[in-house]
Amino acid sequence: MIKTRLTELLGVERPIVQGGMQGVGVAELASAVSNAGGFGILTALTQPSPQALAAEIARCRTMTDKPFGVNITVFPTTRSPDYKAYAQAIIDSGIAIVETAGTPAVAEIWEMFRAHGIRIIHKCTSVRHALSAERKGVDAVSIDGFECAGHPGEDDIPGLILIPAAADQVKVPLVASGGFGDGRGLVAALALGAEGINMGTRFCATVEAPIHPNVKQAYLDNDERGTNLIFRKLRNTARVGKSAVSDEVVRRLAEPDATFEVVADLVSGAKGRELLESGDLSRGIFWAGMVQGLIHDIPTVKELMDRIIADAEAIIGGRLAGYQVA
């Protein structure tokens, strides 16, 4: 058993956290991760309303008696959801730990959570943002390397540098995110100074992930080169799975005067949900990290997590223990 400050904070047996993933972080997946000894996470904004989120939290409780949390990502726009109402649904549902992400506007939500003793893991893509979040009182930081799916920030710092750089300065527990999918990655994260790992893409390629088999197969078919970086010129970089659609997004945005409007029809959230449900990869884009190069099967969540822990323990107690220090 691998115990760290993260397992103590979360009240779990294994230092493995499920990422908060739009369209994927629902009760079936979150409960499977928690039942396997990790920390499952529901994605708040996957639900169409705060009331639906409260119902999903209640449904998840019928599927696991282990700890799980909720992710809420705050990106204020002209059509922003009612973040405070979602936060209140989390509070009223008795959730003890949340994962947050987004702009500095998330601090207002933090105050709501702190008033009710809820602990906060905040996702950051740079050391400076991690230190800022720590100063503002978060309980842990999920540090996202450039390899990750979703939004890796604009600094392009890979985990091999970002994780130890953060560990050198951040005092709260660190969760290593971006590029993790097996026992080797867990051992590496611990060696670099993290207290556990966060996995998103790898959990998408499991039996319990609520997405079409065609999408799961795409994760197997793509290798470590099988992603596209989109929205770079818009300073909102996102890493998605390589496909004909994401290739077209890159092509359109390469035009000198391109704006978001030229790709809006390809990247809408509604189109992404259609893709996950139908398996038609021509419908939109899907989130994917470089860890696709390490995904070779579609196990159950328990099989995957058992394998990760067994491999990590074998590396720590076997191969590494066999090295001699002169």
Give pLDDT tens digits for 286-325: 999 999 999 999 999 999 999 999 999 999 988 887 776 6
CA Rg, the chain, in Å?
19
For residue 47, what are its two tokens?
């639900």
Q: Is 120 helix (H, G, I), strand (E, B) or coil?
A: strand
Per-residue model confidence (pLDDT) at position 194: 98
- Count CB-CB contacts under 10 A for residue 313: 15
Enumerate residue ranges in the chain where pLDDT < 50: none
The one-character DSSP state at 318 is I
pLDDT the model gives residue 324: 67
Q: What is the pLDDT of residue 111?
A: 96
Structure tokens at 304: 């995957």
Query: 10 Å Cβ neighbour count for 196?
Result: 29
Measured distance CA(161)–CA(179) in Å, rounded: 13
- Cβ(144)–Cβ(123) below 8 Å: yes
**Would the CA dihedral through 44, 45, 47, 51 be positive or negative?**
positive
Using DSSP bridges, classify how beta strands 97-102 and 119-124 pair: parallel, antiparallel or unpaired.
parallel
The pLDDT value recorded for residue 76 is: 67
Amino acid at 53: L
What is the reported pLDDT for 250?
96
Pair of tokens at residue 61: 């409780």
pLDDT of residue 272: 93
Structural domains for the chain: 5-210+296-307 (3.20.20.70), 213-290 (no CATH)
